[in-house]
Structure 1
């Protein structure tokens, strides 16, 4: 391994995430190193009591983050033991108290409010004890200066910890705000989808109820109107009418609750698209409507899905699109499906996500899915926003293009 490779590996290892994941190991190594460095001085100048005190002070390098109150307590006991060992009377070194900086830092950065303020109160006590014990024989003026010097150093360590705690609280608040915003968006989308499902349920109720009513009427009419109908046929018609009535009752029971708060009335379809587009044009939205292929007559369910998708697509364009550019509405009739494409301009400076998750898009996607199709919404050609829905149909009967074609502007 070359020196360059070694440097690269060390640099890769010294990342914030890696250091955070291995902080317990790093702190244990730092505590062991600190104990080793001061062991000889403590043993020769203070004896057994100084060694015990040195052990306690070294342990605070492991406890300051996970147990700040315990670290503060152990640091105080270790300091008193070191002072009582006569270590400084024998010419000991001041560096033995450097772990106290870590203790006060940890109390402010990771402790509860009580621990934090106990740490601040402990700084002048520790400074006074150190100065009186270490510099007992110096002049009073110099002692006062040294006291303030030691106190400022300890308080700065505490302030540094307080800044860390404030920064952590700020990041936690920002993270909580982001999570709340995401959760609010999810809730809004769920409410939007639920509202759309309720409206779909109402539409399905009306369509199925109408179809079953027709089946019942046809079966009863055939049964009562024919005079020489064989008995098996009459029985079959009775079964058809009875089954249809049962299905109609079931549909009304299952969907009645979803419908009771919604407006009643006939459902719109392909023949209502002309009036819909004219209404948007009267609102000031320029709509260019083109139809390609051979139009066919859609049954109620896909026709209603097409109407709602066009309605929501043009509404989104009116609310959020660039009103200075025309909206393109395209019907592309295929052999087994109709592609409905709504393309509108995007206002300058607006960024559209790859998978929009507003209120309108999920509703349109729900409509397309329930009709057996699919919907895509994303940036289209030349930065324009495009919604494309593919709605399958079973009917192959041709209709007049005028009934489902573009409305003259």
Structure 2
């Protein structure tokens, strides 16, 4: 029933209503004197209309009700239209601009009913317009009806336009907030995806090297030293990547340098140093420089696929096949990727795991497709990405 308003707005409305009451009362006293009958009959409607004016924004429905009470009282006392009646226009404006849906339409109905009541009152009560409606006064009555209806409807219509503008501004603000929240969420998902890829791959390499170093410590100290060196370099690289991602997460900075096709050899070297026999076949070679988005997606998909092979593989060689075609899915140039590895008995990557989901998201973001399934005892990841991608 009551709208939320700031203290400053309430003070302004009360002050305006107070000034209006003083002006309206002065007009009544100056026009009709201070006799025992006319003055009280003038004061009460003025005060009620001033109250309606004060309430027009904080409670448009209550203000409309008070304005109707004042108007009915004014007619019951036989008072003519006065300066105080100007408040009615402000109340009708407020019902359209700030009222609820019910108050909005009650204000509209009040413009029509009010125009009819004003006309009937002026042409029926003795002392106004001859005190009776006749053929001679009918044209004047019709003109008064049209004028009163136009004036009242104009106030309500202006309020309705303001209401539309306010709603449009609120919708725009809500849309901007929603877009900002969506962009923030997308950025967080991207960072989380990168974090998973970096940490999962690096930890898989570190674990494999640590296991190898433990067994080689007594039999082959040189191999153990080399494994420890690989652990150190892998961990340092992962720490640098994690720090970069955390900086982006905290400060919403632009993305730093991202892996490209030139970094694939380093990725292969990390996997081979972890004890995995890796066979890479690139045929044919890239026809042109792919977009940065496709290079990043290809690197991360291949990184996660090799991480899965490292964690779930049965020791057989892992094969990687890259084929850059002039035409792939959807008729565009792109790359076909296939990673095949054996599986330990009863072990396979979970379809609901973050790794497989992340690979699918990366492929989808650049307009490609990805599938992962068991084939003849092997786990095969296949991705088809367009060369241009979706930046």
Provide the TM-score with structure 2 as the length reference: 0.47
